[in-house]
Structure 1
Amino acid sequence: MTELGDKLKAARREKGLSLDDLQQITKIQKRYLVAIEEGNYSVMPGKFYTRAFIKQYAEAVDVDSTQLFADFDSEVPESQQEVVEQEQSRARKKATPLATHSVGGQNSSRNRFFDILPKILIALFILFILFIIWYFVFARDNDKNVATPNDSEQTVKVNDETGSSTKKSDDAKKNDDSAAKKKAADDKAAEKKKAEDKKKADEKDKKMAIEKGQTSGNATSYTVSNADKLSLEISASGGDTWIGVSTAAGANIYNGIVKDGSSSDEIDAKDNKTVSIVVGNAPVTTVKVNGEKIELAPTLVKQVLTIKLDDSGSDSSSDSASSSSSDGENAQ
């Protein structure tokens, strides 16, 4: 640490500047600013730059650089000799081109060649681009015209031999028979597909219906038509409800409490055509059969619901479709 460095560092701190701030102001690398404060001038790029950096540092923190150099003359490296050497080096560099031109002859010709070399390269590049364009526009079109023969140049060979004609006639008959069989098979497949599509359309047109029967006491019956099976979903809103689901024979399918705001998992009646549902708290309970909500008695708290699947319609339609399909196949 030197007295010059201490003075500059104190001035910097007095202005509230960090080394990073000072680096932004002076554009001097931070490591050089640290070297000035520490008096470590050996890391500087040269004596001339040392004095220049100290001067910029001083001006940035409002310290008189002239007075600073006068007060600490012994600490600041002398740069006069370095300035003279730098000026001499510049003079030698300026004189070198003049000496080269003065020689004339070979060096002069070489310089002129390098002057026109970029122009030669540009001209060659332009010629290359023009060749590429010519090739793709004209040369390839000519190749296509040569490769494609005219219709007038094509010849058709005809074999007039009797044996060959007979063989062609037999082959034609075989092809006709194969085509007829294929057409018959395609017609049969198309008719079968048409019957299947009609069956699917008829089944799709049938909409499931739930008919409410009579209510006797707390028991109500319902009939479900146009459906293949019974699927139940029970939910509660406004309170808990107890649910019991059993078959017509009394076998238990589901038994549990459905909490307020929740619903049961899907209850599949499987192959059972009739199920019985006991609802413990009907006013807060919603019962859905195959996704459709059924109407409960409005005044009863505990209710017994009997759900019956009427599959007579679907069976008859299936039998009818099967019969029509069989008739079509027999007719074919």
Structure 2
Amino acid sequence: MSIGNSPEDDRPSVGRALQQARIRAGLSVDEVSSITRVRVPLVRGIEQDDFSRCGGDVYARGHIRALAREVGLDPAALVAQYDADHGGRPEPTPAAPLFEAERIRSEPRRPNWTAAMVAAIVVVVGFVGFTLFTGGGDEGRTVAEEPPQTEPGTARPTTGKPADPEPEPSTSAVAGVPVNKVTVKLSAENGQSWISARNHNGRLLHEGVLREGDSRTFTDSKRIDLVLGNAGAVQLFVNGKEVKEVGANGQVQRLSYTKGDPEAG
């Protein structure tokens, strides 16, 4: 009787899993390196299960976590698989037993009778002075004035400026889009996609994986340039209007939009 392979024997290696997830996300090695700050030779080596350039297991685990997060994999599961393939984590060295030093007992202090007598005299003198100052009775007490009474049914006068009126909420998010700027909103509705957004000066506004259910909004005075790694998963709104047929699943799209109608971009 033969025994079949377990599911763990059929799963891809750490490097192969990272490579497949990167390709599914529509990312190149250079793009992943730019996002994670892991050098291109290290990314290529890790995807081939060559961790010799990482500088040790600690650095290899850190690179695996960074790459897994950006391509949508579970970092903890991949690190655990790496540890299993490389002999596991080393056991921590137990701390040496500590011997408690013998404590030196201090001699009990004797009561300071002089200080106690001085404190008692101060209390007596203070009590006598307080009694003489207040007149020894209730003669010096005064009754605080009560606020003036108002007749039933009349409102008391109030002081201070009236409260500011509460601002009225806006009717819709589309109505709040500024007309003198270009506003782009991206939402991952049918999966995740790698996105990049730059303003008209070429400055990078955002770069990374837009996970399913998340959204991003970008605004510029003249133009927004976009790169979508998986255009079919993205729902696009430009200046408050939805852009239909952004692209197919797995398709990389490079788009630019300016002020006005989306079709004018």
Same fold at TM > 0.5? no
Q: What TM-score does the superposition give when structure 2 sets the normalisation length? A: 0.29
Taking structure 1 as the reference length, what is the TM-score of the superposition? 0.23
Is the radius of gyration larger for structure 1 or structure 2? 1
- Hey, which of these two has a bigger chunk of helix by percent? 1
Higher relative contact order (CA 8 A, sep 6+): 2
